[in-house]
């Protein structure tokens, strides 16, 4: 008599089954050393000092990093019109090879100038910038405005924290 049920192969074991030895667990992902960065502000009040405090790295203010400073650059601007206007010309300086020798532009960091969503014209400018270079966005953080930089970086900046090695 045939049944329509499928049967799997029969498996027979002879003797006791050995218990596998337990090896010490391997780390899930070994961490690479964080690359040191210099934060360079494209205008006054961009947030360079706050970012350097929270994420680590060298605070260059509005000047190019010196020879002893990290040569990997993160350009910083606020998301208001004047801040966004400063980004493309600064990126062009690197593209044309006019930046000081040895500097490497890694990305642009845009820091929210106010809580909430960007107005459409500013959001369009951000999309234009994102089409030519990697952009990391930092949301409005009320605690930073009050001078408290002791907490963890905002969850929305996880990719920036990984880039700078600030993941805790």
Whole-model pTM? 0.78
pLDDT at 30: 42
Let me know: does 31 contact 37? Beta carbons within 8 Å.
no
Cα separation, 163 vs 136, in Å, equals: 10
pLDDT digits (tens, 9 = 90+) for 41-72: 999 999 999 999 999 999 999 999 999 999 99
């Amino acid at each position: 008599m045939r049944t329509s049920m499928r049967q799997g192969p029969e498996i027979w074991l002879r003797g006791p089954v050995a218990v596998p030895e337990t090896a010490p667990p391997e780390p899930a992902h070994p961490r690479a050393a964080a690359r040191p960065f210099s934060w360079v502000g494209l205008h006054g009040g961009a947030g360079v000092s706050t970012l350097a405090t929270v994420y680590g790295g060298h605070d260059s203010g509005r000047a190019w990093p010196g020879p002893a400073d990290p040569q990997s650059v993160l350009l910083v601007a606020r998301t208001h019109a004047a801040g966004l206007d400063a980004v493309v010309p600064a990126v062009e300086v690197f593209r044309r090879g006019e930046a000081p020798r040895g500097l490497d532009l890694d990305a642009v960091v845009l820091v929210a100038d106010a809580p909430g969503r960007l107005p459409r014209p500013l959001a369009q400018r951000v999309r234009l910038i994102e089409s030519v270079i990697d952009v990391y966005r930092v949301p409005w953080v009320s605690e930073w405005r009050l001078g408290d930089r002791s907490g963890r970086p905002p969850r929305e900046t996880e990719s920036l924290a990984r880039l700078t090695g600030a993941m805790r």
